[in-house]
Chains A and B, each alone.
Chain A
Amino acid sequence: MSFNAILTHDGSTALIKLEGELDALTAETFRREVERAAEAAAELLVLEMSELSYMSSAGLRGLVFARQKLADDVRIVLVGANDAIEQTIRLVGFHHSVDFSDAIPE
């Protein structure tokens, strides 16, 4: 099983590209990158998910962690989540705390 999380910065935007399968074994990698993004004091956190094929509750806990680590006024935008992942996020009500988008915000 493979998973990758790669953090980059563009101005005040932090972008983490997620690739592969985000589950109980790989979620720690995601948390680490979220922690690094939080240290950089961005105004916007983009999670690019177009190459993410699977996410379990371990990934959802990573989103909770991100929301708690970042300041309240930092938006979290999920880009390119597949249908099953978007539905998983909606099932637990997390869509009230993050935004979905088809493209990376300008």
Chain B
Amino acid sequence: MRSPNRQAMDRISLPAEPEALDELVDYVQTLSAMGGLTRTRAHWLRLAAEELIVNIITHGHRDRPGEVELTGGVEPGRVWLRLVDSAPPFDPTAYEAVPDLERPLGEREPGGLGVYLARTVADQIRYEYVSGRNQTTIIMNRV
């Protein structure tokens, strides 16, 4: 069966707490199936989505209550997933910290890896700050 050219997922809202990750994974897996992503590309979408939502929950909301809204859809050439949150502005596309890749593991500081990984494995990440909310969109090509 061919995957549809255009389709949208229902919008859902998740509490900004670690347990939301399971629901995010379900959402992303449904979206990947809808868009007919290959196994590897579905893996990268899940990875980018986890890294960005964990960043929002742990650094954006810092244990303060809040919500992360998810929308997603399929277009002719790509699949997109958008995370919207009300944490302080954070633009992952402008985040400069790149881990020192040549440094031995034993000497590394933990952290700084998640946003770097998301940027590396996603085909594109777009960011906008609109009406006091971060809108972060992950785009994966349907190749």
Q: Which residues of A contact B (CB under 8 A)?
A: 1, 23-25, 54, 56-58, 60-61, 63-65, 67-68, 72, 83-84, 88, 91-94, 96-98
Contacts and interface: CB of A to CB of B under 8 A. Distances in A.
Contacts of A57: 51, 54, 113-114, 117
Interface string B14-53: 0000110110010000000000000010011011001100
Majority SS at the chain A contact face = helix
Interface of B: 18-19, 21-22, 25, 40, 43-44, 46-47, 50-51, 54, 99-106, 108, 110-111, 113-114, 116-117, 120-121
Majority SS at the chain B contact face = helix
B40 A83 contact: yes
Contacts of B111: 61
A23 B21 contact: yes
A96 B100 CA distance: 12
A25 B113 contact: no
A58 B113 CA distance: 9
A24 B21 contact: yes
Contact of A54 (B46, B99, B117, B121): B46
A94 B100 CA distance: 10
